[in-house]
Amino acid sequence: MRGSTNLGDYETYVPDKPFNPVHKGMMFTEDAENITISGDGQIDGNGDFFFDLQSAKKLDAASTQFTRQKEGFRKVANGIGDGPVVPLDRPYQMFVFSNCKRITVKDIFVTKAPFWCMHFADCDAVNISGIRLWNNLLAPNADGIDITSCTNVTISNCDVRAGDDAIAIAGYDHHFEIPGYKKLRHVSENILVSNCNLQSYSSGIRIGYLD
């Protein structure tokens, strides 16, 4: 399975302020139970199409003012350096599970997500095992697995390679609604990560706030 390169093929969601319209990714599941995605197949998000792979992403002064290097932070004289590359208009999370229960994702090969690859939001009883998840290491925001406001999650025996966080675990506050999702619980709890190979240009495992 391969994602379309036509942005118009992805459903557009227009959230309330302060968010801009976004295009949902390949798979969006909400309010469902007993879900399994498994097998020897490959799911290709076609993410490289949604980046300028020849240009390094530039950061403005507002983004670099708190860094030690200031305007020299991630400054690239020529080429793309160690990335990230420039994102174009793109679909968002490749897989979304929102307010779901008893989810199993196992043994599949997932590659080239144009944004976060797998996002589990406000879910309970999630089992992710034996998957290979290989994103472009130069792609900005190309997280591997994001767990937000979930309970009872097991991630085991996986090979995750990501341009951003390989695994991110966080909770969302209730003062705003995340685009495309119901209002979420505040915390994530009972999360187990074991026997995984993690490669990232950001964090292998990040626990804390997601913006």
Secondary structure of residue 129 in the 3-state scheme: strand
Which residues pair with residue 125 across a beta bridge? none
Confirm whether 170 is domain-assigned: yes
Confirm whether 141 is domain-assigned: yes
CATH number, domain with residue 201? 2.160.20.10
- CA–CA separation, 130 and 108 (whole Å): 7
Q: Which residues constitute the domain of residue 50?
A: 7-207
Each residue's pLDDT, cut to its tens digit, for the chain (211 residues) gives 999 999 999 998 877 666 678 899 999 999 999 999 999 889 999 999 999 998 878 777 777 777 776 777 667 777 777 778 989 999 999 999 999 999 999 999 999 999 999 999 999 999 999 999 999 999 999 999 999 999 999 999 999 999 999 999 998 765 445 555 555 557 899 999 999 999 998 889 999 865 4
Task: For residue 62, give the DSSP letter.
Answer: H
Confirm whether 96 is domain-assigned: yes
Q: What is the pLDDT of residues 145-174, one digit of tens each?
A: 999 999 999 999 999 999 999 999 998 765
Q: What is the pTM of this model?
A: 0.86
- CA–CA separation, 5 and 9 (whole Å): 8
Confirm whether 2 is domain-assigned: no
Confirm whether 121 is domain-assigned: yes
Counted domains in the chain = 1
Confirm whether 1 is domain-assigned: no
